[in-house]
Amino acid sequence: MNDFDVIVVGGGNAAFCAALSAREAGGKVLMLERAPKELSGGNSRFTAGAFRFAYEGMQDILELCPELNREQIDITDFGTYTTDQFFDDMYRLTRFRTEPNLCETLVKNSRETMAWMLKHGIRFMPIYGRQAFKVEGRFKFWGGLTLESWGGGPGLVDRETELAQKAGIEICYGARAVSLITDRQCVIGLNVRKGGQTEEARSRSVVLASGGFESSTEWRTRYLGPGWEMAKVRGTSFNTGDGIRMALDIGASPFGNWSGCHAVGWDYNAPEFGDLSVGDGFQKHSYPFGIMVNAEGRRFVDEGADFRNYTYAKYGRVVLEQPDQFAWQVFDQKVIHLLRDEYRIRRVSKVTASNLDELADKMEGVDKQGFLDEISLYNAAVNARVKFNPNVKDGRCTGGLSINKTNWANTIDEGPFEAYHITCGITFTFGGLRVDPKSSQVISDDLEPIPGLYAAGELVGGLFYFNYPGGTGLMSGSVFGRQAGTHAAKP
């Protein structure tokens, strides 16, 4: 392979942002994508394309979505999501563990990075339906998540690929980086395996943006703990920790929540890895409007503790901890119309029944009497005096239960009923490499910068602990990818 200024390892959003910024800075750039072209894009291709960023109000949204028409504007309340709110969410959800300087870089550069992506040709649109319900003629956005890329994750990757090719960035598919090359002082390239042959690719610097280790059964069990070999993988099968391993092999410092991950409720019969024909459709995220029960028929979590954006990434772990690693989500007719589109896909593990007794018979693996008793207790505990409102934390709760529901509690008594069989789907791992918050340069285990080595995306450790605010993954990949590429391209 010819010599390059910057080699980017990976083919998802973080990698493309790194490559585009390096090219913008004048560098000759090569991208190494382990997957074949038809499976390229990493986990980014499996996302819905949502970006969490700080904004002050309508004008900021209009600048990022110039195609919005007057009718849409008039019926939409975008609200605000300030930097202070973003900081609050990051600290609250990570139990104040997020590394402050990394968090500051993410939050304070989020809006500017969205504008940078728009300038390069990425288009955004409001997330109607998933993040805003129409109540009394108006949409109100909730949970700090407002915009997504056109075409979701697949559209984002396709557009970034097009932009990279137009910019003269070389993309090599089916090319697995296996080790870093150093000259004793700095990183000067990689050994790359392609078509059964290994060759050297030389460069002034390398950006690692090849994801976490969620697709490695062995690494999951080693670092996340016993039982994680049972989890499904939401996204690509190629994120097996290669970038992390290569960096550790030359003395990089491991950092962050290595026993933590982003894990959600995922269809029980989904395949071992993500399926691009379904994308993120196996996820089941409308649980705040119903209840979840385990094999004993018992509720095990507060489904309405917070907006979905702030609980879904941790509840997958809770499902995995249940007997036989599964749960059922149960809904009645009062809320069926609120279920997200993923509940209507063809490949869905679903049962329906006109009454609860019949539903219990169909819910495979569930103790029937335990379930019916639980429903009876739950229904009797609902505070029906409070008005139900899906757009706000409405305070419609239960009382007197061992696990109360804090918001959106409705009795489950109006058939036909629907129940969805789920297990745990892991998205990405939280542990990774220590990087300089201002340059994305990888730090050694002597706590010194490693010359010529940068990192971005899921393999950056220290941002997320225990939980995760929805939409922060693509945003952090963009912020740190852009930063990595710019600094990697400097002479």
C-alpha distances out from residue 78 to 6, 144, 145, Å: 39, 9, 10
Q: What pLDDT is stored for residue 3 in this prediction?
A: 87
pLDDT (0 to 100) of residue 334: 97
Domains and CATH numbers, the chain: 4-214+430-488 (3.50.50.60), 263-425 (3.90.700.10)
**The tokens of 6 are what?**
């910057």
End-to-end Cα, the chain, rounded Å: 21
Place of tokens 């690509």: 236
The pLDDT of residue 2 is: 73
Pairing outcome for strands 170-173 and 29-33: parallel
**Residue 52 burial (CB < 10 Å; 0-12/13-18/19+)?**
buried
Query: Tell me, what's the pLDDT at 16?
Result: 98
Strand, helix or coil for residue 285: coil
Structural contact between residues 319 and 325, judged by C-beta atoms closer than 8 angstroms: yes
Q: Are 229 and 217 in contact (CB under 8 A)?
A: yes
What local confidence, expressed as pLDDT, does residue 377 receive? 98
| Whole-number pLDDT of residue 53 | 98
Instruction: Say what the pLDDT of residue 418 is.
Output: 98
pTM for this entry: 0.95
User: Torsion angle, CA of 81/85/86/87, rounded to 10 degrees?
Assistant: 160
Q: Do residues 142 and 132 touch, judged by C-beta distance below 8 A?
A: yes
Supply the pLDDT for residue 243.
98
Nearest to 118 by CA among 17, 219, 263, 261: 17
Q: Are strands 327-331 and 29-33 parallel, antiparallel or unpaired?
A: unpaired
DSSP, collapsed to helix, strand or coil, labels residue 333 as coil
Cα separations in angstroms, 321 against 123, 138, 227, 285, 355:
39, 40, 8, 18, 29
| pLDDT, tens digit only, all 491 positions of the chain | 678 999 999 999 999 999 999 999 999 999 999 999 999 999 999 999 999 999 999 999 999 999 999 999 999 999 999 999 999 999 999 999 999 999 999 999 999 999 999 999 999 999 997 898 888 889 999 899 999 999 999 999 999 999 999 999 999 999 999 999 999 889 999 999 999 999 999 999 999 999 999 999 999 999 999 999 999 999 999 999 999 999 999 999 999 999 999 999 999 999 999 999 999 999 999 999 999 999 999 999 999 999 999 999 999 999 999 999 999 999 999 999 999 999 999 999 999 999 999 999 999 999 999 999 999 999 999 999 999 999 999 999 999 999 999 999 999 999 999 999 999 999 999 999 999 999 999 999 999 999 999 999 999 999 999 999 999 999 999 999 999 999 999 98
